[in-house]
Structure 1
Amino acid sequence: MRGEDHDWAAGIDGPPATRRAAKSRRGPGRAAGARKTAASEPSRDAPSDTTSEAAPADRPARRSRAPRAGRDAGPDTSERSGGTEAARERPTRPERPARSRSASGSGSGDDAPRRTRPGADLPPPELVTDDRALARLCEHLGTVDDIAIDTEADSFFSYRERVCLVQVSTPAGDWVIDPLAELDLAPIGRVLADPTRRKIFHDGEYDVLLFKREHGFEFSNLFDTRVAAAALGYDAVGLAGVLERHFGVVLDKKQQLSDWSKRPLTDEQIRYARLDTHYLVELTAQLEALLEERDRMPIVEGECARLEAMEVPDRSFDPDEFMRLKGARNLDLTRMQVLRELFIARDEMASARNVPPFKIVPHGALVEAASRRPRNARELEQVGGMSRKLVQRVGKQLLDAIERGRELGPLEQAPRLPAKDGTDRLDERGTELHDRLKTLRKKLADKEGFDSSLAINRRTLLDLAAKAPTAVGELDRIEGLLAWQIDAFGEAIVRAIATFQRDWENGDVQPRRGGGRRRG
């Protein structure tokens, strides 16, 4: 789980995920229309609304959430984390302290739970570092109904991020799995795909994509507590906010940007990691009761089915992604060509050194270097963000890239990237309808008291704008539109589309400049 919100594409606003090498990185900018879709990771602190959704599959009936007799002991994996201390044998496990409960989950008034800093009074989680211990854990996971799961990755410290830690919690305890100990995570993959066990994540989109990209895992029967909190209209849907609301605990965020690839793990890292899953099973029980009470479980189930079916986006490096850098659009075509070459050179250095591109040269420094086009190291040092140490390390490569840009000459035209909202796929009429439907979506969501992305997600909104159904009976052919959405919003949607069609025919719609194609 991540506590930050970044556009990972080509290292624009943060570390990259795994990306395939581009077939053609050099040369003048592409001709108009020849471009790739940039992938971006979802936000972890805001409700999801991505472009890779699918209609939900049939979901298994929910089983009782109460712990079953004889199944609270958990497996003995014979290892326990001690931070920098070596794992040690443990013949018996101390009884787990009772967790605080807040049945209402209101977190306000007289019923508000007491604010505490968690972790100190808990027994250490079990550290799983070999295949036998993982097998014992997965055997235990096959006996419980609910399994909380989270991951930690090294996105801020590597070019190709990887799963560095997997946290697991059940009513019996907490486990921290170390994939860097050369474990075979296939047993965890089977757990994730098991439709009879519910897997609980908080803001699990990043985790799901990470597991799918790196390990090819499939998912079934997910429950996302962030989605549940958003469906209930919570203002703060991040894990820290939800846990404080329900349990009165205050999470320490100091390890949020930790380098999870380093070993040995510290005590602080392990405490931080285990708390990402420790409360999720009990939290789910509380959220589920509130969702049933307010008849909002279909919202959560539909969104979780979308998470299960997500496809991993293409992360191939696209040299034209330089246009997403702040200030790139202000450059003339000659300087854009230089920036494109600098962008390529930076990515090549980042890939070779396995670090995020922004750690090679800051984004702003790259744009300023393209603007000033220095000819030597002394001039390069005058660029904001270019320290002498940085110039000594990569100055030659940067100056070479600047010279290549000079030799290539100006771009024929500024690259046009796919719009992040997908409207570049619509014609002028569809783009205007999309804008009107977005306004309607917000009104409907505000009336219901939850985030607009849960009312109608991005991909479904695009399909509505493209197909423009004018009867409720036609809504069944809209990709990703669920039965509860048709029941709740169908009449309003077709009424808004019919009104737009009439306004368009009467000339009452003023198309925005550039028509149906706008830059990302």
Structure 2
Amino acid sequence: MSDVVPPLIPPAIVPGDYVFIDTAEHLQQWLQETEAHMQATGENRCCLDTEADSLHHYHEKLCLLQVACAGRFALVDPLAIEDVSGLLALLDRHELWFHGSDYDLTMLRRTYGWAPRVVRDTQIAARLVGFRQFGLAALIHAMFGLQLSKASQKADWSRRPLPEHMLSYAVDDVRYLIPLADYLMKLLREKGRESWFEESCRDLQVDVAARSMAPKEDPWRVQGSGRLHSKGLAILKSMWEWREGIAMERDIPCYRVMSNKQMVIYAETFEAGGVMNPPGGWRPRWKKEFHDLIADVFRAGQASWPQRVKKAKARLTDAQREQIDSLCSLRDKVAESLDIESSLLGSRSTLEEVVAESAGLEALMVWQRELLKEPLANILPQAEAA
């Protein structure tokens, strides 16, 4: 669908209509008042967003919880309030709306070991009705004709006190979610896609819950390292360990020392016998340590260098690749007829799983299987019986 829609009437904004909560007593009072207000209004939906400090510190942490319940807005400070179980319990008693909830759900699980009971996501809803620009600011502009500020998008949310413009930015992330949800749900019902939406939200919850919280066995094997051989892997591991030490020492994100992409490029240069010159803007100590770690890798010798990891995943046959190409082509036609992104019906990697594994259909949601029923039956005869 076109991402330009007739602007709706935006909700009225009352200056200072939110509270910043940084004590357990204030939170308890707000929760009691909000619970009574929601019972009085009959509203069964809450909204939640989070802010973290991953762009500014080595250890990422949750720095702010933005909450909206029946027109009551609160910004809760998890850095000051250790126990927010009362808030989580309130949210669990209601339908909880997010926008782009994957990161929020991950941070909430990591910080509190908590997974909301019922999750609804306006980003998923927007994509399923056909929006191609589905960021919150883009949707708010399309729906209400309002331009939300992005000035605090990359701010350091661990700073205290938070200035007024950051607080206003934060509350806007939940202020418009219920009116936005109402409009998107209306479109979903009109298109007969409400069940798609509910299943997609549940699928996201399951996916987040299934992710391992344990540290990776070899975290230095970053994206792109799979094409390196033993020599390149040795220098990559050494650079990664050095970068971690510097980032931890200075309490900055690792990418501000050197990005994963930069490290892989250096490793490829090292593997090819090229000269590895550190970035010109580095301080003298970093440059010296960089040259030292190169020398240490040579000194350690090949016997100590890491080996390439053999992928357990079976290689696809030529026939399977042809089936996947055909499925992708037919998927694209179905998506075009529905005016949605083709990836919503299953990414290429998902379709590879469908073709390559005997129980591959389980990789698709029920609504996806139904829409792809004919293409699957034509290309994979066994799918028809399933």
205, 230, 254: which is aligned to 2:102? Answer: 205
User: Which amino acid letter does the alignment assign opposite residue 313 of structure 2?
Assistant: R
Greater RCO, 1 or 2 (C-alpha within 8 Å, sep 6+): 1
Residue of structure 1 in register with 2:199 after alignment: 302
After TM superposition, give the deviation of residue 130 of structure 1 in Å.
Answer: 1.2
Q: Check conservation: 1:106, 1:246, Cα contact below 8 A.
A: no
**Aligned pairs (5 A) from 1:86-485:** 107-108=4-5, 111-112=6-7, 122-139=15-32, 140-141=34-35, 143=39, 144-194=43-93, 197-309=94-206, 310-311=208-209, 312-314=211-213, 316-317=215-216, 319=218, 321-322=220-221, 324=223, 333-363=230-260, 366=263, 383=278, 385-389=279-283, 391-392=284-285, 394-410=286-302, 415-416=308-309, 425-429=313-317, 432=321, 433-456=323-346, 461-467=351-357, 478-485=361-368
C-alpha separation in 2, matches of 1:189 and 1:160: 23
Q: Check conservation: 1:303, 1:454, Cα contact below 8 A.
A: no
Q: Check conservation: 1:370, 1:402, Cα contact below 8 A.
A: no
C-alpha separation in 1, matches of 2:216 and 2:364: 32
Is the deviation greater in 221-230 or in 314-323? 314-323
C-alpha separation in 1, matches of 2:344 and 2:366: 13
1:2-41 CA distances to partner (integer Å, 9 max, x unpaired)? xxxxxxxxxxxxxxxxxxxxxxxxxxxxxxxxxxxxxxxx
Residue of structure 2 in register with 1:56 after alignment: none
User: Which amino acid letter does the alignment assign opposite residue 22 of structure 2?
Assistant: T
**SS of 2:79 mapped into structure 1:** helix
Q: Using a 3 Å threshold, how does the CA distance of structure 1 residues 201 and 372 change in structure 2: closer, same or farther?
A: closer
Residue of structure 2 in register with 1:7 after alignment: none
Q: Check conservation: 1:153, 1:260, Cα contact below 8 A.
A: yes
Q: Using a 3 Å threshold, how does the CA distance of structure 1 residues 364 and 223 change in structure 2: closer, same or farther?
A: closer
Residue of structure 2 in register with 1:490 after alignment: 373
Unaligned runs of 5+ in 2: none
TM-score, normalised by the number of residues in structure 1 = 0.62
C-alpha separation in 2, matches of 1:452 and 1:220: 29
C-alpha separation in 2, matches of 1:463 and 1:362: 31
User: Which amino acid letter does the alignment assign opposite residue 56 of structure 2?
Assistant: F
Q: Using a 3 Å threshold, how does the CA distance of structure 1 residues 252 and 408 change in structure 2: closer, same or farther?
A: same
C-alpha separation in 2, matches of 1:293 and 1:498: 33
User: Which amino acid letter does the alignment assign opposite residue 409 of structure 1?
Assistant: G
Q: Check conservation: 1:154, 1:162, Cα contact below 8 A.
A: yes
Is the deviation greater in 169-178 or in 359-368? 359-368
User: Which amino acid letter does the alignment assign opposite residue 188 of structure 1?
Assistant: L
1:281-337 CA distances to partner (integer Å, 9 max, x unpaired)? 111111111110111111110111112222233462554745535xx6787753442
TM-score, normalised by the number of residues in structure 2 = 0.82
Q: Using a 3 Å threshold, how does the CA distance of structure 1 residues 434 and 414 change in structure 2: closer, same or farther?
A: farther
**SS of 1:478 mapped into structure 2:** helix
C-alpha separation in 1, matches of 2:252 and 2:328: 38
C-alpha separation in 2, matches of 1:341 and 1:437: 43
Q: Check conservation: 1:193, 1:220, Cα contact below 8 A.
A: yes
User: Which amino acid letter does the alignment assign opposite residue 138 of structure 2?
Assistant: G
C-alpha separation in 2, matches of 1:225 and 1:435: 31
C-alpha separation in 2, matches of 1:192 and 1:444: 37
After TM superposition, give the deviation of residue 496 of structure 1 in Å.
Answer: 1.9
After TM superposition, give the deviation of residue 191 of structure 1 in Å.
Answer: 3.3
C-alpha separation in 2, matches of 1:462 and 1:134: 49
C-alpha separation in 1, matches of 2:228 and 2:3: 52
After TM superposition, give the deviation of residue 131 of structure 1 in Å.
Answer: 1.4
After TM superposition, give the deviation of residue 274 of structure 1 in Å.
Answer: 0.5
Q: Check conservation: 2:233, 2:306, Cα contact below 8 A.
A: no
User: Which amino acid letter does the alignment assign opposite residue 218 of structure 1?
Assistant: A
**SS of 1:180 mapped into structure 2:** coil
C-alpha separation in 1, matches of 2:213 and 2:186: 38
User: Which amino acid letter does the alignment assign opposite residue 171 of structure 2?
Assistant: R
After TM superposition, give the deviation of residue 353 of structure 1 in Å.
Answer: 4.1
Name the structure with the higher helix share: 2
Q: Using a 3 Å threshold, how does the CA distance of structure 1 residues 213 and 329 change in structure 2: closer, same or farther?
A: closer
